[in-house]
Structure 1
């Protein structure tokens, strides 16, 4: 029997700083919930909206795999390795903090919001050399299918991270159904509904709901409306 945990959208932590409106699926900053520290190797899932022209000043990270997925607008990135880039909707960015990196992120546009997911994953090896990468994926690539956008393998599809983790994005028509087969025994999958309504393994889910599943090897997914979904398969760390 699969084990599950349900995190309805309305139960997330919330911080509105004016320039930043952030929802936290797991404990982060001033939001602390001992029942919601992490899901396996998935440590942070922040749903952020940044006002025009505003952003996060330069700050450090180490020993964390950080993935950013813009949902709308344009996010400007600069870091201590000399990278300067703008990531947009349909891009996926990864930063392996490793031995240490400093970066800043700001809204590239003064006149519109940027919405993005900030995701942290515990690495499977410490003190690696810091690295940066980003890739663009067309909406057609994930229409009525699960598109792999993150993996542990540099030679595989998508960006790669230092963890036995796989992320997939799907954009489904109403009535579309599919299965997801776990990539590695012992892993769990955390599903996050970006838009619309889906049912996963019999559990109805709605916009911005989160649903973790483990102790199984597959998911059954049904789109109850036009829907967008992010699946994050990660090791179930103790």
Structure 2
């Protein structure tokens, strides 16, 4: 079964310095029909104004992923990490027993555009951890890249969650197919447009796939997406 989550139906909040779209309930946005999907709890598409950002704040018992689309983000946390994340890289933070971090847009002129993702962990109270890595999504199009997995295979980050994350950038008139390992999926379109069967999906759209053995994603004009494999 496939369930479309159109970009225009997401929750929205504009705080001036921060313009956010929420695929699932978050902060002041509450919709009991959209509380998450399987282990996937949050997909926020954030636009952060120049020289602004999130001051130091706490998290615990959550797997947090950050995927930058435009601009850069300066990250600092209580594990001692102090890094700058740019497009082409993925950030993974295990909040575990508790961590505080800040995320700031270092540019005086450029808006930061990113996807912030939270996954519910399958174990709690573990030591916090921070890591980031450059993946070849942009430089090696037309194939699925494993970014995070349950077992850290193929150079991916290990998630303490019943979830895996893949991403792909498609050139025009190309497609990729994924056979689900954990049984369910969620597709989030980052740029451009892709199709799944007869369903055309554009940037910001999401598609929940329940009980599907596989999914084929194609693009007539080019697109980029994240694909979650979920138990």
Q: TM-score range by the shorter chain?
A: over 0.9
Residues 215-234 of structure 1: matches in 2 within 5 Å?
215-234=211-230
Residues 62-101 of structure 1: matches in 2 within 5 Å?
62-101=60-99
Secondary structure of 2:139 counterpart:
helix
* Alignment partner, residue 45 of structure 1: 43
Matched, 1:196 2:208: no
Match of 1:158 among 156, 159, 163: 156
> Structure 1 residue runs of 4+, over 3 Å off?
none
Q: TM-score with structure 2 length normalisation? A: 0.96
Q: TM-score with structure 1 length normalisation? A: 0.93
Q: CA deviation at 1:140?
A: 1.6
Secondary structure of 1:10 counterpart:
helix
Match of 1:179 among 177, 180, 201: 177
Distance 1:156 1:65 in 2: 20
Distance 1:124 1:89 in 2: 29
Count of residues paired in the alignment: 230
CA displacement, residues 108-151 of structure 1 (integer Å, 9 cap, x when unaligned): 2122111111000000111111101100023123x011111111
Matched, 1:126 2:111: no
CA displacement, residues 143-184 of structure 1 (integer Å, 9 cap, x when unaligned): 011111111123433222101321111111121122111122
Q: Do the aligned partners of 1:151 and 1:157 also contact (CA within 8 Å) in 2?
A: no
Distance 1:129 1:13 in 2: 32
Distance 1:196 1:73 in 2: 18
The gaps in structure 2 that reach 5 residues or longer are none
Secondary structure of 1:38 counterpart:
coil
Q: Do the aligned partners of 2:39 and 2:162 also contact (CA within 8 Å) in 1?
A: no
* Alignment partner, residue 169 of structure 1: 167
Distance 1:33 1:105 in 2: 26
Q: CA deviation at 1:39?
A: 0.6
CA displacement, residues 40-64 of structure 1 (integer Å, 9 cap, x when unaligned): 1000000001011100011100000
Moved more, 72-81 or 148-157: 148-157
Q: CA deviation at 1:231?
A: 0.5
* Alignment partner, residue 19 of structure 1: 17
* Alignment partner, residue 208 of structure 2: 212
Distance 1:155 1:47 in 2: 28
The root-mean-square deviation of aligned C-alpha atoms, in Å, is 1.1
Secondary structure of 1:81 counterpart:
coil
* Alignment partner, residue 107 of structure 2: 109
